[in-house]
Amino acid sequence: MDFYRMGFNNTKRSNDIWLVAENRGDDVFKSTVQQLNIKIPLPQTTGEAQQISFKSLPDQRKGVKELLLTAQTTSGLPVNYYVKEGPAFVKDNKLVFTGVPPRAKLPLKVTVVAWQYGIPGKYQSALPVEQSFFIVP
């Protein structure tokens, strides 16, 4: 499972997966569409509580290519990240900058969210932690 800009705790948009199976049909069988909805409990509320430690990120100069993300959980489980806003994406625990958009004015805000979903019955979901910084000239 992976959460993105919709957020970890947005129960209207983050707690289910929709799948569709489709058969176009032919001369023998008519076409059909079948959908399936899988509900995901948000957040995990059973098990041991855990917290995320995510130190503030320093402002970055325009032209920097990437930044290592080093959040940790009290449970020792791995931390995941997503970019809430700004010209970047996360790959292998690194924040990769995509470049400043042509008409954007510096400083430009970037917000990264660290999250840990937990393990049902063993660890609760940790509250997501946001860190913001600016891309400066």
Q: Which SS3 state, helix, strand or coil, does residue 93 take? A: coil
Q: Is residue 39 scored above 90 in pLDDT? A: no
- Mean pLDDT over all residues of the chain? 92
**Mean pLDDT to the nearest integer, 75-90:** 96
Q: Is residue 65 scored above 90 in pLDDT? A: yes
User: What confidence score (pLDDT) does residue 41 get?
Assistant: 82
Cβ burial of 100 (10 Å; 0-12, 13-18, 19+) is middle
User: What confidence score (pLDDT) does residue 2 get?
Assistant: 74
Can you give the C-alpha Rg of the chain in angstroms?
20
Strand duo 88-91 + 94-97: pairing: antiparallel
Q: Is residue 26 scored above 90 in pLDDT? A: yes
Banded model confidence at residue 8, pLDDT cuts 50, 70, 90: low
User: What confidence score (pLDDT) does residue 17 get?
Assistant: 85
Q: Is residue 89 scored above 70 in pLDDT? A: yes
Q: Is residue 3 scored above 80 in pLDDT? A: no
- Residue tagged 């958009």 (tokens): 101
